Structure 1
């Protein structure tokens, strides 16, 4: 019987290696990626059944990458494996694109259970987040904090906040540098941001830079 295919998306090589050893007896690890942009390129080629995805990744964070990947591959199952215990982030991911949400500190056998569940069509949430998530859905059943920026603006904002130059951003996103600059300054103008430090703080507030 063919093993279910799993793709691992995390920029910490030691974590990826440990997850691979944990999952290999039951699942086929078809690949690993270290940032969200690479994930969007590789996943359609490898056609995994499940992607285990960290939210805090460079170039394109796991939240935005997961949302884009789910649109491109609606049948794929996406499981968040993160350090973040932010209930708002978890609620948004589960409402929009994720089938499961786990914490790295409680991974191990729990991840195997989560993959089994999502493959059977059952969502999985770590018990450590259950109460906070329930409260978050009551307070805000349709999280919408990410709708204040377009997807392109979010991509540019993350790259700016990570310290990339306008020229580098243009190369990464395959757009003209002046287009990248336009997006940057439109964000600054629309939200009253005047410094690079302000852009970094705004990126964190908007969950574009996701702190571990």
Structure 2
């Protein structure tokens, strides 16, 4: 697989990961609860499957590898290494606010994800560093959906410009984004739609 294909696959993975979830915690009994480990593995396999179908026209991961069990095992080891890198980012970068998309750090998180493209290109020959960098990037994208109110405001719709193009307007830290009413709280968006 050439470098361009790896980068395309990498960014496909980024767009497949768009739901809210917990990091590496034990499940709470709710079948809808997802961890970073779960969502990364599922999204990565879904992106690989999508990549195979778009380049081969049809088929699945199993069809692609066929009798090549060593090739499939190698791929699965990389998927699990990436999944671990995403989960490790939470522990290793716990004091880096923008990695976790804290409210006042959304713009920095957006710019960090944008910078990942160059960093990933420069690490293409070092698989371990590549996976670590991709893990940080994916964790930041996942944190955007987990730690902002995007999902509450827009459901399962993916915000395709996060880390790619210009970030939408974000409420300033001192702006009140909640209104108190007599019987309930109504949450306004952290984001301003133009």
Common fold: TM-score over 0.5: no
Q: What is the TM-score with the length of structure 2 in the denominator?
A: 0.28
Q: Which has the higher contact order (CA 8 A, sep 6+)?
A: 2
Structure with the bigger percentage of strand: 1
Q: What is the TM-score with the length of structure 1 in the denominator?
A: 0.26
